[in-house]
Chains A and B, each alone.
Chain A
Amino acid sequence: MMRISGVVAGYGEREVLHGVDMEFRPGEITVLIGPNGCGKSTLLKTIVGIVECSAGEITIVDHISGERLAEDRKTVLSVKALSDIERAKRVAYLPQSKKIPDISAFRMVLHGRFPYLNYPRKYRAEDMKIAGEALRWAGLEDKADEMVSRLSGGMQQNVYLAMALAQNADTILMDEPTTYLDVANQLRLMEMAGRLARQGKAVVMVLHDLSLALRMADRVVLMEDGRVRKTGTSEEVYDSGDLRRVFGVEIERVKTKSGWHYFWDGMVGEEDTER
């Protein structure tokens, strides 16, 4: 479980997050939504130390490597106080912009074990095994020796996801993981995210596709101007009417066999945005 309280962060003089509070719970997919520039990506970057956090606390309840401690023995750690390596054992992060190097898929996933490297800085047999399992989990075992640069966009994203799995962190942050993916690959990715959550991980994603976000999220965090506007299940956030106000579009929903489906239906009328 990760708890974020009163986080203020930004780039130099420009403050982007003005005191943000939220929680990422194990076993849940939390989706951050909000208009461009509201601070979703900045929040993820602040958690992993790319953007400096000038005030507030980010804490995690520690049960590392799947060895769940008894409830009363759990330790609460401040993420800011952790070294980069120690943080990476607990929090995995898939940024939006990814380099696709000319290395094999297996090698790439193996780098998920980077936080566990010890002297003499070589991956051990155990790391190889975990990386192999992660590749199989992502359905890419037959692509192990292929160059990542030659895989399709969907497979490249899955390689990154397998790398995050190999990292064995309890919290996985993904910044717009569905960008550039076709519909089938988007659904495949969301299905994999669901499997991660069922394994007890706290999965956090920034998504721009509102209908995908509302349909797949266990918990939605709606952000606006560096603050949290509304937190809750998709229904709660929808019912609050905040979506319509923050995004300035009409959102409709219909009930189908597989639950509620949400879709946007044009801009909010001009007289409405006056309010």
Chain B
Amino acid sequence: MNKHRIPFCFGGAFLLLVLSFLLNMCLGSAGISLGDLWTAIIEGPGSGVAGRIFWYARLPRTAAAMLAGAALAVSGAVIQGVLTNKLASPGIIGVNAGAGLAVTVCCALGAFSGWVIAGAAFGGAMAAVLLVTLTAAKVGASRTTVILGGVAVNSCLNAASEAISVLVPDAGMQAADFRVGGFSSVAYTRLVPAGVVILIVLFVLFTLCNELDVLSLGEDTAQGLGLSVKRMRTLFLCLAALLAGAAVSFSGLLGFVGLIVPHAARRLVTDESGKLLPFCALCGAGFVSLCDLLARTLFSPYQIPVGIFMAFIGGPFFLFLLINKRGGRQA
């Protein structure tokens, strides 16, 4: 293993994030030069058109993309570690299905305001995850019961969403925006509370890296090392759900990041959580914000849903990693 690879990866991810931030600020339907950007940052929102665009449009949108990316990627990494299943993602424990159903119900009841949708998404996600984890905890919280419970809860909730969409077509249309996901309607009022939750949970998770590593050695080994497996597994799932639920509350259902970013990150910086989680946060933030940049500028004035870009860029990149690593392993 090349000793300089990991610092190099971190440096690269950080540069990517900074670059993404600058591009996101400067590019768009109205171009802002770096000089104008600097003036806007220093003088606040009152400093003319550039200032207003920066503070009220591009900054919240980019911050939202970065927060959601970081939260979903770390959440996915934690869930994969806890369930020792590299195909797991926040979706598997019910986050997306729960949020989707709650939002569809709200739309059917005629409550479309941003706050209500955000609250419903977060509440729905948490309720679904609680249902999955509590059911699993009841029968011993084994990895398989969590996954199977998740699959069962997911299919029930998705069926309910679809039933509502058929019965109340307007609700289906309203909820479709949420289901596709994106950052075009983000506002500080919804971003700030979710952002605070995300930052706090990220901090807590960064202090629990050794627990997560021990847990991913398998439940028997972890128990032998003195980790209370059932309790910690449930705790980690809840923390991961908080992250993903908070992200989904303002971004809608972005399913792809939580699976692919952690998986790619593992290949670059190993499974060691102390490195993996921060790296996932950097990469997730950079990846989603870059995709959002493309989504809003490439076919301007039309905006393409960001999820589509994530799949177009992430999918091939992931295939590249698979092929590349295979060769490296055998060398």
Contact = CB atoms under 8 A, between A and B. Distances in A.
Contact of B1 (A86, A97, A121, A145): A145
Contact of A114 (B220, B226, B270): B226
A102 B208 contact: no
Given A111-B225, A145-B1, A45 B213 contact: no
B155 interface: no
A88 interface: yes
A192 to B, nearest CB: 18
Q: Chain A interface: which size bin?
A: 35 or more
B220 A45 contact: yes
Contacts of B224: 48, 88, 91-95, 173
A89 B225 CA distance: 8
A263 interface: no
Contact of A94 (B208, B219, B221, B272): B221
A219 interface: no
Contact of B207 (A89, A99, A121): A121
B229 to A, nearest CB: 8
Given A99-B216, A99-B217, A146-B1, A123 B210 contact: yes
Given A48-B223, A84-B227, A114 B210 contact: yes
A83 B228 CA distance: 9
A111 B218 contact: no
B271 A101 contact: yes
Give the one of B1, B216, B218, B224 with max A CB within 10 A. Answer: B224
A92 B223 CA distance: 10
Given A111-B210, A114-B226, A123-B210, A102 B220 contact: no
Contact of A104 (B216, B219, B223, B270): B270
Interface residues of B, number: 27
B210 to A, nearest CB: 6
A83 to B, nearest CB: 8
Contacts of A103: 213, 270-272
Contacts of A178: none
B84 interface: yes
Contacts of B175: none
Given A102-B270, A114-B226, A97 B214 contact: no
A147 B266 CA distance: 13
A114 B208 contact: no
Nearest to A11: B140
A95 B207 contact: no
Contacts of A45: 220
B227 A114 contact: yes
Interface in A100-158: 101-104, 107-108, 111-112, 114-115, 117, 120-123, 145-147, 150
A117 B214 CA distance: 12
Nearest to B216: A101
Contacts of B228: 84
Contacts of A147: 1, 270
A160 B228 CA distance: 20
Contacts of A87: 226
Contacts of B209: 121
A49 interface: yes
B329 to A, nearest CB: 8
Given A120-B207, A121-B207, A102 B225 contact: no
A147 B275 CA distance: 14
Nearest to B272: A103
Contacts of B220: 45, 48, 50, 93, 95, 97
A85 interface: yes
A97 B225 contact: no
Contacts of A97: 218, 220
10 pairs of A and B residues whose beta carbons are closest in the complex = A88-B226, A93-B224, A95-B220, A99-B218, A115-B226, A102-B271, A85-B226, A114-B225, A101-B271, A84-B226
12 contacts: A48-B224, A91-B224, A94-B224, A95-B218, A97-B218, A101-B216, A101-B217, A112-B225, A115-B225, A121-B211, A145-B1, A150-B329
Interface of B: 1, 3, 84, 207-211, 213-214, 216-221, 223-228, 266, 270-272, 329
